[in-house]
Structure 1
């Protein structure tokens, strides 16, 4: 179930990381909060996901078996993944 709160500028979504790429999910969530197409995100934020984390490594890490929790920032956004839940929050 997706939860988008435009007031606090946050998105919370659950995924099956076996079928969804975490790197794409993060980009889509931030693009939703910025109200832009994902392809425009690097221009709007003046940064890319790759500037903060290796997308391939992130996808590999989260599609492996196990319950993984990670967090990092991309510009003004905090990204948290806990198991199958992605939360992106504007700081």
Structure 2
């Protein structure tokens, strides 16, 4: 795993999918990783679609009400989407 540009952000960063107009899960992942890296989302290399299908991620997690947890590696981090839509970058 690579060394994050701001290690303090890694353990502290979390994002929730919710509110009046929640982002799609794939957008929340991109925004979370970009925030930890302190770069713009469009500057992430490789793009999320090179790691997994963003539409499949959105379909899998949209409307999920049961207890769930999804974990995958992206951009050198472990991305965890937990019950209730919390996105955690580790």
Bin the TM-score by the shorter chain: 0.7 to 0.9
- Equivalenced residue count is 81
Whole-Å Cα distance in 1 between the matches of residues 9 and 54 of structure 2?
26
Whole-Å Cα distance in 1 between the matches of residues 69 and 33 of structure 2?
19
Moved over 4 A (4+): none
Q: Is the aligned partner of 1:34 residue 2:33?
A: no
Whole-Å Cα distance in 2 between the matches of residues 75 and 63 of structure 1?
23
Q: Is the aligned partner of 1:20 residue 2:23?
A: yes
1:1-91 equivalences under 5 Å are 6-7=7-8, 9-10=10-11, 11-16=13-18, 19-42=22-45, 47-67=46-66, 68-83=68-83, 84-89=85-90
TM-score by length of 2: 0.76
Structure in which a larger fraction of residues adopt strand: 1
Runs (5+) with no aligned partner, structure 1: none
1:40/1:16 Cα in 2 relative to 1: closer, same or farther (>3 Å)? same
Runs (5+) with no aligned partner, structure 2: 1-5
Whole-Å Cα distance in 2 between the matches of residues 50 and 70 of structure 1?
17
